[in-house]
Structure 1
Amino acid sequence: MVFLLKEKIARGAVNGTMVLTYAPASVEILGYAGLDYVIVDTEHGANDIAEVESMIRAAEVSGLTPVVRVTKNEPAYILRAMDVGARGVLVPQVNSAAEADRAVRAVKYYPRGDRGLAGIVRAARYGFQPLDRYIADTNENTLVIVQAEDIRAVDALDEILAVDGVDGVFVGPADLSHSMAMPGRFDDPEFTRTVHAIVERTVRSGKFAGMFCFDAAQARYWRGQGVRMLCVGSDTMLFAGAARALARELKAD
């Protein structure tokens, strides 16, 4: 079954979260809970490619679109994520049009890209899907989402947005604040102006904006600003929050 997150985003905002730990059951639960997508993280998470593949299967079982945040903007990392069934990649530290084009070319096949072609991988149903149909589906329906998480990306944003094949720009607030010499100061007026400008310029370009949000209230706010891809927390944050709440309740008189 194919889950076209691109079509959902065209209709409105989508909701998801990030998974840093190896937890296929947790991924499956997120789908049954009603989220639209999951980002399996290999940048800050410790997941290897076999674990990523298992979590992609879990996402598919429960109706989630699986997106993989790759370790870095390298064709080899992107190729492996796509070959095991990712329906899109979130690419960190894309700070120029050339770097954005590099990501697109690693995801797409000819004529837009130069990704290595193998018709026997999981993404091609191990050869059971006709090769021409597999190539067409990949080129049309997979997502390339680049992260704006450095002030250099902000400076080059219009050029990045002009790259054919970039579907969306995703704001990474922690690294962005760090690059602006104000790590973690998410309420600083200069930082908030910068984030709003990224969203406004992205939406104006006709591509979608994505945002990492710390809670549902923040997600609702950014949805109102035009953000279409809302990533709320992570599996570690959700578990820690539930554990804290339980501990407080158990200790209450």
Structure 2
Amino acid sequence: MPAPSNPFKAALAAQTPQIGCWLSMGEAASAEIMGTCGFDWLVIDGEHGPNDLRSIRDQLMALERSESHPVVRIPVGETWMVKQVFDAGAQTVLVPLVETAAEAGAMARACRYPPQGVRGVGSSAARASRFAQIPDYLATANDEVCMLVQVETRKGMDNIEEIAAVDGVDGVFIGPADLSADMGHLGNAAHPDVKAAIAGGIARIREAGKAPGILMMDLQGAQEALGYGAVFVAVGIDVTLLAKAARALAAQARALVD
């Protein structure tokens, strides 16, 4: 029996648009709820969400029966972090703040077993192999892992073709918030210069033969990104969705008595 297939990886390779959302609460219960909503992919955010390896593992377990594919964003591009989240059961990892092809290559190797990579062979104790229940896991896992790297600085954008061309990188995600800050437009990802950089970056990723991705906080921005050629597009964050809906409801309810 081989490693489970990765439908998200296959969709990116086919350039089939995928709509996603961010999970920043760090809770298995909310992740399970989000897994019923119909998104193609959900990001378990280990960079800005209050997560550790165990909470990431618990959210992977909560999403195991969901049609939404879990993507784990680790806090920083460290080989040991990549190894841990793959052993915990992730098949797709997003690495923030990648600026060079060398950094992207190191991450691509971190998620694959030798000789293609440097992932440690400890699968018999890992959720990834169902604790050695998958006899062919070691022989087939490399084909199903998906490595996404996040470009969010001017330096990264300058090197985006070389980053996208790295063997073992399946997609390149542009981070509008950090990119806009690095370009001198903190808090204004809609600045014309930032939008032009994003549009150009998406085109350059596609020209390199890889899938471009992005997070947009409104549907107009998402539609623009898809029009530029983005393949995997996130359209919101769970924390923001909850806060916005609750605040609106509270204001409407207060209006009944004020």
| Matches of 1:196 and 1:108, distance apart in 2 | 31
Q: Is the 2:213–2:232 Cα contact (8 Å) retained in structure 1?
A: yes
Mapped pair 1:213 → 2:216: yes
- The correspondence of residues 1-253 of structure 1 with structure 2, limited to 5 A, is 2-9=5-12, 10=14, 12-120=16-124, 121-130=126-135, 133-253=136-256
1:222 alignment partner AA: A
| Matches of 2:64 and 2:11, distance apart in 1 | 16
Instruction: Tell me the TM-score normalized by structure 1.
Output: 0.94
**Could you give the per-residue CA deviations for residues 135-163 of structure 1, whole angstroms, max 9, x where no partner exists?**
34321121111001011101111111111
Structure 1 residues not aligned, in runs of 5+: none
Offset of residue 2 of structure 1: 4.6
> Greater share of helix residues, 1 or 2?
1
Count of aligned pairs: 251
| Matches of 2:219 and 2:26, distance apart in 1 | 24
Closer, same or farther in 2 for the Cα pair 1:74/1:208, shift >3 Å?
same
Q: Is the 1:38–1:59 Cα contact (8 Å) retained in structure 2?
A: no
**After TM superposition, what 4+ stretches of structure 1 lie above 6 angstroms from structure 2?**
none
Instruction: Tell me the TM-score normalized by structure 2.
Output: 0.92
Instruction: Tell me the secondary structure at the aligned position of residue 211 of structure 1.
Output: strand
Instruction: Provide the alpha-carbon RMSD of the alignment.
Output: 1.5
Of all paired residues, the percent bearing the same amino acid is 37
| Matches of 1:136 and 1:63, distance apart in 2 | 26
| Matches of 2:121 and 2:15, distance apart in 1 | 31
Structure 2 residues not aligned, in runs of 5+: none
